[in-house]
């Protein structure tokens, strides 16, 4: 058996894969946060709860209505995104003129309400989500077995992130979005309906979180608190990457997932804290974040 | 420590807050003295009119914690989302000092406070490098790192925490196993902390803090080293949060992960927001309200979380000045 630094190759690759999968979720969630922050200047604390809602939507669709994974991938993000639109219209829209911290406080409170309601209804233990049968089994790569579903998660999240990047950085719609991030009043004066764009952007970011939740459902247990702890790690990811760049948040998400996976191999005690330690180092060296701009 | 320069008064003409933080409602000295005296009398009498001392002690510890937090958010405008790390760290250190080292309660509380002060210094240096939302996220992340540290560190007892910490004898004389004696010690600590915060806010140093909150570039242009003022305020806030956490550990004879969790950081934000950010009595009112609420909803499962969250939402949408802030505003309107 091949060993690297005294660690069996298989263990190393296994953790690397787990890291890549965690990284896929970090990337999708931090991407959503970055898109929302860019236009709304709000850090969406509800993001973790909305990710959890996506997973629960998939679970409920399968358990109550017999709707399978593929439909859930489409229905859950739209449903949770629509919920996000309602939240934006009824609550967040009232806060844009105030200090941005009120947005953080509001979304924090909302996250507590959502998590509490789900805990009351479904308890705190995890509910299993059956893996779709298409994904049973694994690819034999010769040096390791790669479960099909995990391969799918990595590929799908790369595609989703790349598509989001393309839309924002390379299309006309994206150029409006970027312009509105820089100067909303000016874009409005050109006849673009900025408030509607803000609403839809929030809905999109929330939908992205829900999509990540659906994809997470077969891997992790569906649990009311699944987003609560994750979101804090994602905040650290966002601080490390800086929120100035869409590509930056994607790269940072995947990169930190992999680093976390490797830490599990070489120094397991630190695997929970490594991302926070990196955050501290980045703050000392480059306070604006790796890809960020001081604003 | 930045020595406030008495020759330089704080900038007199502060800009009105730009639709953001509500204006600080600070009662004039006489009103403050009367209100404080009334509060102390009520608290001294409370256990004699049937209020459960343990409940009061819990509320007082959280009230001091919220006051310490308010020093930072209300008067410097820095919203920390990781204050539980100071509260919990002091709790762990004082519980360990009292139980394993056998220190007397006053020394145990002092040890806890020193620990949280040092943690405040280190995390403050990091966190004040960014502002606003980033500051909140960074403090949250550092606190989460500390949470994982305490989860794994051998001396904290992991999920069990440090249990059956002896209350001991204060200064070797007063037996704190007596609930009433313990209560008056907690009350004394609270009042001392409360008055210290009032003193800080009304010192020239506090005026500079307010100037930084209102308009940092202007404060800097007047020659104030804003980062140093912010750091000192952060450390003071951490130290006072530590006093509260250490006292709570001695009172409840327990230090556990609950006190370092992010939910605890959120709770102190809520107490301050509900009572009124930037008001001197607000955090006290907020803490007593939330602790009572939790007391009555204790057996209602997660409804506490739901209601807590709902109060957050309502406060932010409709009630940003908080209870005391709204009362003060109504009072000012009436007197006009």
Contacts of B135 in chain A (CB under 8 A): none
Contacts of A233 in chain B (CB under 8 A): 144
d(CA B71, CA B61): 16
Q: For residue A87, which of A205, A190, A177, A191 has the smallest C-alpha distance?
A: A205
pLDDT tens across B286-315, in order? 999 999 888 888 777 788 889 889 988 998
Give pTM, 2 decimals. 0.86
Q: Give domain status of residue A240, yes or no.
A: no
- The H helix count followed by the E strand count for chain B is 13, 2
Q: For residue B260, which of B156, B108, B114, B189 has the smallest C-alpha distance?
A: B156
pLDDT number for residue B117? 95
Most confident range (mean pLDDT) of A60-69, A82-91, A185-194, B271-280 is: A82-91
Q: Give domain status of residue A109, yes or no.
A: yes
pLDDT tens across B225-263, in order? 888 999 999 999 999 999 999 999 999 888 888 889 888
Residue of A100, A274, A276 to mutate when probing chain B, most B C-beta within 10 A: A276
**In a 3-state reduction of DSSP, which class is residue A290?**
coil
User: Binning pLDDT at 50, 70 and 90, where does residue B112 land?
Assistant: very high
pLDDT tens across A121-175, in order? 888 888 888 888 878 877 877 767 788 888 889 999 999 999 999 998 899 888 8
The average pLDDT across A2-31 equals 82
Q: Average pLDDT of chain B?
A: 83
Beta strands at A7-8 and A3-4: parallel, antiparallel or unpaired: antiparallel
- B122 in A contact zone (CB under 8 Å): no
Asked whether the beta carbons of B125 and B216 are under 8 A apart, the reply is no
For residue B257, what are the CA distances in angstroms to A226, B159, B182, B208? 19, 7, 23, 36
More confident residue, B7 or B256: B256
Asked whether the beta carbons of A156 and A27 are under 8 A apart, the reply is no
CB contact under 8 A, A99 and B303: no
Say which of A95, A108, A114 has its CB closest to residue B312: A108
pLDDT tens across A220-279, in order? 889 898 888 888 888 888 888 887 678 888 899 999 999 998 888 888 888 888 888 888
Residue in B closest to A46 by C-alpha:
B309
pLDDT tens across B53-108, in order? 888 889 999 999 999 999 998 888 888 989 999 999 999 999 998 888 888 888 98
Asked whether the beta carbons of B309 and A111 are under 8 A apart, the reply is yes
Q: How many CB atoms lie within 10 A of CB A67?
A: 16
Q: Give domain status of residue A189, yes or no.
A: yes
d(CA B87, CA B302): 23
The residue with tokens 């939302």 is: B133
Asked whether the beta carbons of B88 and B255 are under 8 A apart, the reply is yes
DSSP B162: B
pLDDT tens across B172-210, in order? 677 777 888 888 889 999 999 999 999 998 889 888 888
Burial of B131 (0-12, 13-18, 19+ CB in 10 A): middle
pLDDT tens across A165-208, in order? 999 889 988 888 888 888 888 988 988 888 898 899 999 999 99
More confident residue, B6 or A295: A295
Please name the residues between 113 and 152 in chain A that touch chain B, using a CB distance below 8 Å.
113-117, 119-120
Who contacts A47 (Cβ-Cβ below 8 Å, separation ≥6)?
Answer: A29, A32, A33, A36, A107, A205, A206, A209, A227, A231, A234
Alpha-carbon torsion (B68, B71, B72, B74), positive or negative: positive
pLDDT number for residue A27? 92
Who contacts B31 (Cβ-Cβ below 8 Å, separation ≥6)?
Answer: none
For residue B148, what are the CA distances in angstroms to A249, A252, B141, B259? 24, 22, 11, 13
The residue with tokens 């308010």 is: B70
d(CA B304, CA B271): 14
Q: Give domain status of residue A259, yes or no.
A: no
User: Binning pLDDT at 50, 70 and 90, where does residue B335 land?
Assistant: low
Bridge partners, A147 (sequence order): A138
Q: Is the pLDDT of residue B138 over 60?
A: yes
Who contacts B86 (Cβ-Cβ below 8 Å, separation ≥6)?
Answer: B116, B119, B120, B237, B238, B239, B241, B242, B245
- A86 in B contact zone (CB under 8 Å): no
d(CA B40, CA B38): 6
* SS3 track for A238-280: HHHHCCCCHHHHHHHHHHHHHHHHHHHHHCHHHCCCHHHHHHH
Q: Give domain status of residue A249, yes or no.
A: no
Task: Give residue A153's domain range.
Answer: 10-124+132-226
Question: What DSSP letter does each residue of A61-118 carry, written as one string?
Answer: HHHHH---HHHHHHHHHHHHHHHHHHHHHHTGGGGTTS-THHHHHHHHHHHHHHHHHH
> Per the structure block, which two tokens stand in for B234?
């952060």
Q: Would you list the domain boundaries of chain B?
A: 41-260
Q: Give domain status of residue A213, yes or no.
A: yes
Q: For residue B60, which of B209, B194, B211 has the smallest C-alpha distance?
A: B194
Q: For residue B323, which of B81, B32, B331, B30 has the smallest C-alpha distance?
A: B331
CB contact under 8 A, A113 and B309: yes
Shortest CA gap A40–chain B (Å): 12
**Radius of gyration over every alpha carbon of chain A, rounded to an integer in angstroms:** 19
- A281 in B contact zone (CB under 8 Å): no
> Per the structure block, which two tokens stand in for A14?
């296994």
Q: Give domain status of residue A235, yes or no.
A: no
The total domain count for chain A is 1
The average pLDDT across A23-52 equals 89
Asked whether the beta carbons of B307 and B297 are under 8 A apart, the reply is yes
Q: Give domain status of residue A262, yes or no.
A: no
What ipTM does this complex have? 0.83
Q: For residue B56, which of B241, B252, B288, B259 has the smallest C-alpha distance?
A: B288
Say which of B19, B134, B308 has its CB closest to residue A239: B134
For residue A9, what are the CA distances in angstroms to A4, A22, B26? 6, 20, 65
CB contact under 8 A, A283 and B129: yes
d(CA B83, CA B15): 29
**Radius of gyration over every alpha carbon of chain B, rounded to an integer in angstroms:** 19
> Per the structure block, which two tokens stand in for A152?
């799918």
């Amino acid at each position: 058996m091949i060993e690297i630094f005294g660690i069996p190759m298989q263990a190393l690759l296994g953790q690397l894969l787990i890291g890549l999968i965690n990284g896929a979720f970090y990337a999708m969630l931090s991407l959503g946060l970055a898109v929302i922050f860019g236009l709304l200047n709000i850090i969406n604390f509800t993001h973790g709860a909305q990710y959890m809602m996506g997973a629960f939507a998939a679970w409920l669709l399968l358990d109550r209505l017999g709707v399978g994974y593929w439909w859930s991938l489409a229905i859950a993000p739209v449903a949770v995104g629509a919920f996000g639109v309602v939240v934006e219209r009824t609550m967040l829209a009232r806060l844009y003129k105030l200090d941005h911290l009120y947005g953080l406080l509001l979304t924090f409170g909302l996250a507590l309400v959502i998590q509490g309601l789900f805990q009351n209804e479904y308890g705190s233990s995890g509910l299993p989500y059956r893996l779709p049968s298409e994904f049973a089994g694994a690819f034999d790569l010769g040096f390791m077995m790669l479960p099909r579903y995990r391969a799918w998660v990595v590929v799908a999240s790369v595609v989703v992130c790349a598509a989001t990047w393309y839309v924002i950085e390379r299309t006309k719609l994206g150029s409006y979005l970027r312009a509105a991030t820089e100067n909303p009043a000016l874009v409005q004066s050109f006849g673009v309906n900025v408030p509607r764009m803000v609403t839809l952007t929030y809905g999109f970011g929330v939908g992205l979180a829900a999509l990540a939740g659906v994809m997470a459902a077969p891997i992790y247990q569906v649990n009311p608190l699944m987003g609560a702890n994750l979101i804090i790690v994602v905040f650290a990811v966002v601080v490390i990457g800086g929120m100035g760049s869409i590509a930056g948040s994607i790269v940072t998400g995947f990169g930190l997932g992999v680093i976390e996976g490797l830490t599990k191999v070489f120094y397991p005690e630190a695997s929970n804290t490594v991302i926070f330690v990196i955050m501290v180092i980045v703050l000392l060296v480059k306070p604006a974040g790796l890809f960020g701009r001081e604003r | 420590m930045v020595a406030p320069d008495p020759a330089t008064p704080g900038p007199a003409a502060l800009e009105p807050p730009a639709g953001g933080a509500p204006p600080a409602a600070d009662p004039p000295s006489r009103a403050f003295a009367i209100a404080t005296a009334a509060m102390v009398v009520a608290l001294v009498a409370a256990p004699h009119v049937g209020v459960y001392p343990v409940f009061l002690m819990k509320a007082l510890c959280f009230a001091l914690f919220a006051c310490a937090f308010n020093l930072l958010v209300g008067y410097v405008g820095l919203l920390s989302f990781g204050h539980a790390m100071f509260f919990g760290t002091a709790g762990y250190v004082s519980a360990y000092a009292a139980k394993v080292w056998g220190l007397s309660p006053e020394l145990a509380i002092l040890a806890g406070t020193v620990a949280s002060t040092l943690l405040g210094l280190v995390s403050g240096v990091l966190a004040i490098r960014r502002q606003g939302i980033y500051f909140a996220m960074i403090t949250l992340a550092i606190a989460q790192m500390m949470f994982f540290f305490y989860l794994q560190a051998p001396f904290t007892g992991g999920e069990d925490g440090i249990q059956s910490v002896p209350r001991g004898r204060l200064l070797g004389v007063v037996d704190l196993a007596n609930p009433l004696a313990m209560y008056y010690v907690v009350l004394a600590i609270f009042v001392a902390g409360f008055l210290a915060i009032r003193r800080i806010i009304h010192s020239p140093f506090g005026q500079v803090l307010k100037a930084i909150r209102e308009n940092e570039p202007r404060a800097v242009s007047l020659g104030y080293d804003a980062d140093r003022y912010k750091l000192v305020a952060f450390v003071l806030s951490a130290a006072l949060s530590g006093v509260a956490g250490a006292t709570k550990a001695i009172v409840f004879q327990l230090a556990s992960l609950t006190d370092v969790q992010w939910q605890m950081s959120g709770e102190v934000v809520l107490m301050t927001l509900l009572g009124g950010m930037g008001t001197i009595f607000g955090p006290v009112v907020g803490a007593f309200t939330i602790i009572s609420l939790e007391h009555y909803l204790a057996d209602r499962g997660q409804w506490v979380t739901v209601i807590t969250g709902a109060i957050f939402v309502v406060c932010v949408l409709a009630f940003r000045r908080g209870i005391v802030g709204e009362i003060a505003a109504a009072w000012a309107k009436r007197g006009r």
